Structure 1
Amino acid sequence: MKNIKSILLSILVLMMMFPIQAFGHEGEERSETSTFSLVVDYSMIAASVITILAIITVVVLNNKQKAFDVKKKEGQIRKKHYQKLVKISKWIAIFGIVALLISGAIKMFNGDNGSESSGEFMHIHGLGFTNDGSEIYVPAHDGLKVFRNGQWSGAAGEKHDYMGFSMVDDGFYSSGHPAPDSSMKNPFGIVRSTNLGEDLKTLGLYGEIDFHAMDVGYNNHAIYVFNPQENSQMDDTGMYYSLDDTKTWNKTGMKGIKGQVAAIAVHPNQEEVVAVSTNQGIFLSKDFGDTFEELYNVPTSALSFSNQGTLYAGSVSSKVELTQINTENGERTSLPLPSIKEEDAISYIAINPQNEQQIVISTFKKDIFSTGDRGGSWSQLVDEGKSVTQNKEEVSSSSLESDTSEGQSHAMDHSGMNMSGSSDVPENFKLQKSPSIQLAQKP
């Protein structure tokens, strides 16, 4: 029993160090957002264990003291020594209880009050409006962010890492990965929510695969994905679609598509109509993706259909462009943009389903802009991942003009898709000093 003091102090040190160093989660990217939460959770565990061990030690030592013969000098010495150990154990127990209370308070505060991180965006994995057009949802790697009444806040539900996020008329579909403290399987396959993230319903390929390139028709709920690897429902890579919430999948022909895929958009009402953008242009299919015709031969990083069926594209020619495209006759209209940072481009586009005048765009450098008059003026909502609600940049509506040019030739040289969700600016969508552009895949 002479070494009890040393043992208890060693346990104290090791238990506080062990959780931080020994516990891990899947993937380097996830650890960026989960470290603080893990430290708090495991500190609570460590404090609980320390407290329990200290209390047990106190009880054991007190019981042992009863057996000492205090009439003898040896018994008196041993009892005095045990009393010191009991005192030390009591202080350790008190320390553990205090640490447990502090950790619990921190966890409760961070769990109830998400305002600290609600306006920060580590990554941006999509954009979308609620059906009534009153709220903008952004999957931001550490859960959904919501813009309502001029302010950002966290959405209900767990802070999952949503990928392939697609808003629809009654909620959203998504792929991705569960939150660090979630009991859900990783990866998601495809999930659906009808209460904006408060609950998730698992659909196909749950626990098997993560789709980064995915879109769902706003009203018809036709699901289109680019499958990166063989799985239990898809025996090959390529483009697939499902019209029954992933119960069955059909592979598309993808005939006519040139270049590396960057984005996909599904018509809101016509389930057979799908658009795909690449580093060589925009391609439209009206037969479930079997054959495609070229709409625009400019590298395009972002696509989205409005609820009225108009296609919007974020492209890069000699400048960053936001283009409205009539898919029936191919007519294109260029919309004015706010000042996009150097070597940046549009990553996602969302159009208010109740008001096509309102458009929201994000960029690879984590800026988000909103316009209520088709680009006549823009408000910046997020600047490099930080929320901004007051900064407005006016864009003259005189810059709105028809654009029927065929574009310019571009240098294209890269291999494979890279849809990791990184917010780094892709090389293939950076503006160059010369008219020629070097291309790379959208993350």
Structure 2
Amino acid sequence: MKKIRGIILFLLAMNILSLSVLADGNGDEHKSEIGISTYLGVGAILSLVLLVIGLILWNMTRKKLATSTNMKKNDRDLLRKKMSIQLMTSVIAGAVMLAATIGWATTRLESDESLELKHIHGLGYSADGDNLYIAAHDGVNLYAEDTWSNLHTKEEQHDFMGFSMVDEGFYSSGHPAPGSSLGNPFGVIKSDDMGESLKTLDLSGEMDFHEMAVGYNSHAIYVLNPEPNSRMDEAGVYYSIDEASTWEKSEMNGLEGAIRDIAVHPTEEEKVVVVTEVGAFYSEDFGNQFEPLVNATVTSTAFDQAGKLFMGIYEESNQLVEFDISTKEQKEISIPSLKEEDAIAYITVNPQKADELTFATFKKDVFQTKDMGGNWQQLADLGITKDKKEE
């Protein structure tokens, strides 16, 4: 009986240990693990039930053997053999159930390691075209070689607002991670190593620019300043062509409506598109004089490397439009059906592959095409990332 008690205690300990595997992790991880731990607990209980049933049958056979004094030797040997089989079966059944449950939970945990894109604030490609970066509340996320990853540790997961990819890294505004020594809000910052180090350019501790764009090659910075600060006397559009050492205010003549988005030509620093609640407006003189481009609900806009303009438009349905500024010609690009009450929030075109475009929606769906709308791959669904290898 001591051996039997030892087996029971061992399997009980293994059940408890299997539940304690989920004890570590942060709050978000615990939320995602509640369902897994529940099923793991049920599986652990079932393994014990199988063991107990087997031991009850074994004990019944043992009692029968003990009380049968007139039983023939052959019959006794058969009962002893039956007892051994019952004991072995119960132990194996309990162990298999426990192992299967732990294996399932482990696989489920691994599958639940998909990144969640939280509050997307911009996206763009690296200069070589190999890497797609998406900024969110928890740092910068990378999509490369069909796989997602987050570039930053939990201590470095800054909230990047106004995120703008350029050929040598990115510019941004936003807020530092809790406990960071960086000024809050950021003002204007830049990084040439994708966030491993951040350089403060201006207005640290003063401003968080939600509407901000930077020329991909020119590095001309345009911001919508919401209120007066130590460097800008009034609200409005400002630009800098010297890394925020000096700022100039755009006169904004011809601009109508509240500003929603800004796009800067990749190489010609004086060319800028501003999207308002009325439509899209274009300037060739640093935003001093604007002309209307589109009188529609424009939800997002971006230049490609050749200076073509791409716009997300919502007019009864979602559209993605390629716009030639010089000729005013428009070409609609086929896109997947989007969720109800959703629209294109951010657009980026691969600087090395003119037919590769990625967009993100307000509901954090991310789609990519490598043949300019011929075929689309969904990279994220409601912010939950999808590796190509999973498909």
The answer on 1:126 being equivalent to 2:159 is no
The answer on 1:247 being equivalent to 2:216 is no
Deviation track 1:205-231 (CA, whole Å, cap 9, x = no partner) reads 011110000000000000000001111
Structure 2 match to 1:153:
149
CA contact (8 A) 2:164 2:172 kept: yes
Structure 1 match to 2:133:
137
Question: Which of 217, 220, 225 pairs up with 1:227?
Answer: 225
User: Pairwise CA RMSD of aligned residues?
Assistant: 2.1
Taking the aligned partners of 2:258 and 2:112, their CA distance within structure 1 comes to 38
SS in 1 for 2:122: coil
Gap runs ≥5 in structure 1: 1-33, 38-113, 394-443
Counterpart residue identity of residue 139, structure 1:
A
Matches within 5 A, 1:173-212: 173-212=171-210
Count residues with an aligned counterpart: 284
Counterpart residue identity of residue 271, structure 2:
V
- Per the TM alignment, residue 378 of structure 1 is displaced from its structure 2 partner at its CA by 0.4
Question: Which of 275, 279, 289 pairs up with 2:287?
Answer: 289
Counterpart residue identity of residue 128, structure 2:
D
The answer on 1:315 being equivalent to 2:313 is yes
Deviation track 1:366-385 (CA, whole Å, cap 9, x = no partner) reads 10000000011100000001
CA contact (8 A) 1:178 1:184 kept: yes
SS in 2 for 1:203: strand
Gap runs ≥5 in structure 2: 1-25, 30-109
- Per the TM alignment, residue 342 of structure 1 is displaced from its structure 2 partner at its CA by 1.1
- Per the TM alignment, residue 122 of structure 1 is displaced from its structure 2 partner at its CA by 1.9
CA contact (8 A) 1:380 1:391 kept: no
Give the number of the structure whose alpha-carbon radius of gyration is greater: 2
Question: Which of 269, 274, 277 pairs up with 2:275?
Answer: 277
Taking the aligned partners of 1:115 and 1:173, their CA distance within structure 2 comes to 33
SS in 2 for 1:330: coil
Matches within 5 A, 1:12-411: 119-156=115-152, 158-390=156-388
Deviation track 1:366-411 (CA, whole Å, cap 9, x = no partner) reads 1000000001110000000111234999xxxxxxxxxxxxxxxxxx
SS in 2 for 1:303: strand
Taking the aligned partners of 1:342 and 1:187, their CA distance within structure 2 comes to 34
Structure 2 match to 1:407:
none
Structure 2 CA distance for partners of 1:321 and 1:391, relative to 1, 3 Å:
farther
Taking the aligned partners of 2:129 and 2:112, their CA distance within structure 1 comes to 26
SS in 1 for 2:321: strand
Taking the aligned partners of 2:206 and 2:335, their CA distance within structure 1 comes to 40
Taking the aligned partners of 2:389 and 2:290, their CA distance within structure 1 comes to 41
Structure 2 CA distance for partners of 1:341 and 1:202, relative to 1, 3 Å:
same
- Per the TM alignment, residue 181 of structure 1 is displaced from its structure 2 partner at its CA by 2.8
Taking the aligned partners of 1:35 and 1:163, their CA distance within structure 2 comes to 24
Counterpart residue identity of residue 270, structure 1:
E
Taking the aligned partners of 2:111 and 2:151, their CA distance within structure 1 comes to 11
SS in 2 for 1:188: coil
Structure 1 match to 2:95:
none
Deviation track 1:397-433 (CA, whole Å, cap 9, x = no partner) reads xxxxxxxxxxxxxxxxxxxxxxxxxxxxxxxxxxxxx
CA contact (8 A) 1:203 1:246 kept: yes
CA contact (8 A) 2:367 2:378 kept: yes
Taking the aligned partners of 2:151 and 2:137, their CA distance within structure 1 comes to 13
Counterpart residue identity of residue 291, structure 2:
E
CA contact (8 A) 1:140 1:161 kept: yes
Counterpart residue identity of residue 346, structure 1:
I
CA contact (8 A) 2:213 2:223 kept: yes
Taking the aligned partners of 1:128 and 1:136, their CA distance within structure 2 comes to 6
CA contact (8 A) 1:118 1:145 kept: no
- Per the TM alignment, residue 147 of structure 1 is displaced from its structure 2 partner at its CA by 0.3
Taking the aligned partners of 1:232 and 1:121, their CA distance within structure 2 comes to 34
Deviation track 1:3-56 (CA, whole Å, cap 9, x = no partner) reads xxxxxxxxxxxxxxxxxxxxxxxxxxxxxxx9779xxxxxxxxxxxxxxxxxxx
CA contact (8 A) 1:370 1:381 kept: yes
CA contact (8 A) 1:379 1:391 kept: no
CA contact (8 A) 1:380 1:392 kept: no
Structure 2 CA distance for partners of 1:117 and 1:141, relative to 1, 3 Å:
farther
Deviation track 1:302-350 (CA, whole Å, cap 9, x = no partner) reads 0101011111000111211101111112111110011111111000001
Taking the aligned partners of 1:370 and 1:383, their CA distance within structure 2 comes to 12
Taking the aligned partners of 1:213 and 1:367, their CA distance within structure 2 comes to 21
SS in 2 for 1:323: strand
Structure 2 CA distance for partners of 1:210 and 1:35, relative to 1, 3 Å:
farther
- Per the TM alignment, residue 269 of structure 1 is displaced from its structure 2 partner at its CA by 0.7
Taking the aligned partners of 2:134 and 2:371, their CA distance within structure 1 comes to 21
Taking the aligned partners of 1:390 and 1:153, their CA distance within structure 2 comes to 13
Structure 2 match to 1:31:
none
Identity %: 49
Structure 2 CA distance for partners of 1:227 and 1:298, relative to 1, 3 Å:
same
